[in-house]
Structure 1
Amino acid sequence: MPRILAIDYGIKRTGIAVTDELQIIASGLTTVPSETVIVFLNDYFSKEDVTKVLIGEPKQMNGQASESTPVIEKFVADFEAAFPDMKIERVDERFTSKMALQTMIDSGLKKKQRQNKALVDEIAATILLQDYLTRKMI
């Protein structure tokens, strides 16, 4: 079974998570500089069978688009141009960064380790993907 990949796109860094081949468990894959994410994904897609990509959709508390929406929309357009046959699903990413930080605290990471923004982005993508998998099973 092909994998599902999740992207937590940011201005500087992009967190990426992926499912196992049975689409049961989400795992952090990596964090890459945002300007290289298309190149990274091109390489990854050439090696792994991916059926769908989830892209985080930033929203404010009231459900309106956030100030980073134009940046994400440009990335989505670039992604669609680079991978026209890949299925994309936009998912609400509210609270994923806060949940990632809380996960790091709960797992006992020291303050210095919690300041690793790349790790926060990767965990946020993993939370986004695991939440999607959980909702899919219900």
Structure 2
Amino acid sequence: MGRILAIDYGTKRTGIATTDELQLIASGLTTVETKTLIAFLKQYIASEKVELVLVGEPKQKDGSPSDVEVEIQKFLKQFANAFPTMEMKRVDERYTSKMAFQTMIDSGLKKKQRRNKALIDEISATIILQEYLYNK
């Protein structure tokens, strides 16, 4: 059984989370600059057995696609070219950033630490992954 990787795509930074090999526990992995995302994924997937990649699907409150969806579609094409055999699924990521911020508050992080947008992106990716594991 391979890991599941979750991606919270952003135009500047992208949060990444992964499961253990038994696909039981979701953990934040890192945040990378989006321009280096494909290179990071190539390196990670070459060194770890990854079975599935989840990519967040941001939507507006009314269910319509978010503005960043255009950029995500470009990334999905790059991903498909780089990893033609890798299974990929889209996952609704509405409110994950707000949930991530609340998680930071609940865990007692100081105000200065909560301004770390990279950490918010990583936690958001972890929430996407946890939701998928819960509903799988």
Which TM-score tier does this pair reach, normalised by the shorter chain? over 0.9
CA distance in 1, matches of 2:99, 2:37: 23
CA distance in 1, matches of 2:53, 2:45: 11
TM-score by length of 2: 0.99
Partner of 1:114: 114
Partner of 1:24: 24
CA distance in 1, matches of 2:58, 2:72: 8
Partner of 2:49: 49
Unpaired runs of at least 5, structure 2? none
Give the counterpart letter for 2:7 in structure 1. I
Partner of 1:79: 79
Alpha-carbon deviation of 1:21?
A: 0.8
Give the counterpart letter for 2:39 in structure 1. V
Alpha-carbon deviation of 1:66?
A: 1.1
TM-score by length of 1: 0.97
Residue by residue over 1:29-71, the C-alpha shift from the partner in whole angstroms, topping out at 9 and shown as x without a partner, is: 0000000000000000110000000000111011111111101
Superposition RMSD in Å: 0.5
Residue by residue over 1:104-136, the C-alpha shift from the partner in whole angstroms, topping out at 9 and shown as x without a partner, is: 000000000000000000000000000100001
CA distance in 2, matches of 1:68, 1:39: 21
Partner of 1:34: 34
CA distance in 2, matches of 1:67, 1:11: 11
Unpaired runs of at least 5, structure 1? none
CA distance in 2, matches of 1:17, 1:100: 13
**SS of the residue aligned with 1:128?**
helix
CA distance in 2, matches of 1:41, 1:66: 24
| Residue correspondences, number | 136
Give the counterpart letter for 2:71 in structure 1. V
Give the counterpart letter for 1:42 in structure 2. K
**SS of the residue aligned with 2:130?**
helix
1:11 aligns with 2:14: no
Partner of 1:99: 99
Following TM superposition, where does structure 1 have runs of at least 4 consecutive aligned residues deviating by more than 2 angstroms? none
